[in-house]
């Protein structure tokens, strides 16, 4: 067997960012999201909330949902050991959303409190959660809660795209799609070998 001399592969320098934080924020903003207000109680028992658009469904079994909070946000300090609600905002709650983002509304938001979890009234949907895990997310905290109760209302959700609040519009190409592509029911990532045309 002949041995061949090969030169070692050159070590590549790590890539450096060629973009600014503003560029990254603008790029992230192209991913349209809903808007949530995460609510919990302070140690003194006072309702507290923070507007968050970084919300993700994580798991059906166990039922898990994730929100990402700016590090240092008071809500992040309260969620480690306390139950909380993810209030999915409706189009009628823009003033409530802005209130918890630092622009006080006229009057006070309507609350109800169930089992120590303050919940806003008028939501498109609500997920009540108990703490499950908190992870380091750089300048944010990744908070995952186990869903223990939920409510869905027949109102349109508030959306956020490119730094602006929006409402839902017409269906893309006029046709609704009933299931997520990675859902168990669709089998999209479970070895499907053929796909039906639409």
Q: Is residue 88 in some structural domain? A: yes
pTM of the model: 0.76
Q: Which two tokens stand for residue 141?
A: 């905290």
In a domain, 195, yes or no: no
Residue 185 lies in a domain: no
Residue 94 belongs to what domain range?
A: 31-169
Domain at 120, CATH number: 2.30.110.10
User: What does the pLDDT profile of the chain (198 residues) look like in tens digits?
Assistant: 555 566 666 666 667 778 887 787 777 666 667 899 999 998 888 898 999 888 989 999 999 999 988 887 777 777 777 899 999 999 999 999 999 988 998 888 999 987 889 999 999 999 999 999 989 888 888 999 999 999 999 999 998 887 888 888 777 776 666 665 555 555 544 444 444 544
Q: Is residue 147 part of a domain?
A: yes
Domain assignment present for residue 11? The answer is no
Do the domain assignments include residue 178? no
Query: What was the pLDDT predicted at 74?
Result: 73
Whether 109 is in a domain gets the answer yes
* Total residue count of the chain as it appears in this document: 198
In SS3 terms, the chain reads as: CCCCCCCCCCCCCCCCCCCCHHHHHHHHHCCCEECEEEEEECCCCCEEEEEECCEEEEECCCCEEEEEEECCCHHHHHCCCCCEEEEECEHHHHHHHHHCCCCCCCCCCCEEEECCEEEECCCCEEEEEEEEEEEEECCEEEEEEEEEEEEECCCCECEEECCEEECCCCCHHHCCCCCCCCCCCCCCCCCCCCCCCC
Domain assignment present for residue 107? The answer is yes
Whole-number pLDDT of residue 120: 95
> Looking at residue 154, what is its pLDDT?
94
The structural domain count of the chain equals 1
């Amino acid at each position: 067997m002949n041995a061949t001399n090969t030169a070692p592969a050159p070590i590549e320098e790590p890539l450096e960012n060629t973009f600014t934080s503003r560029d990254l924020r603008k790029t992230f903003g192209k991913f349209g999201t809903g808007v949530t207000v995460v609510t919990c109680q302070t140690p003194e028992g006072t309702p507290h909330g923070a507007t968050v658009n970084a919300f993700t469904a994580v798991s059906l079994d166990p039922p898990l949902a994730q929100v990402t909070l700016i590090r240092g946000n008071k809500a992040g300090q309260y969620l480690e050991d306390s139950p909380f609600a993810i209030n999915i905002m409706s189009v009628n709650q823009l003033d409530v959303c802005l209130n918890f983002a630092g622009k006080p509304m006229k009057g006070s938001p309507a609350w109800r409190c169930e089992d120590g979890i303050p919940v806003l009234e008028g939501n498109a949907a609500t997920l009540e959660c108990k703490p499950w895990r908190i992870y380091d997310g750089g300048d944010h905290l990744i908070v995952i809660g186990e869903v223990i109760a939920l409510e869905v209302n027949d109102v349109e959700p508030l959306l956020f795209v490119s730094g602006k609040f929006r409402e839902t519009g017409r269906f893309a190409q006029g046709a609704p799609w009933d299931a997520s592509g990675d859902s168990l029911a669709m089998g999209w990532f479970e070895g499907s070998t053929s796909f039906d045309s639409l």
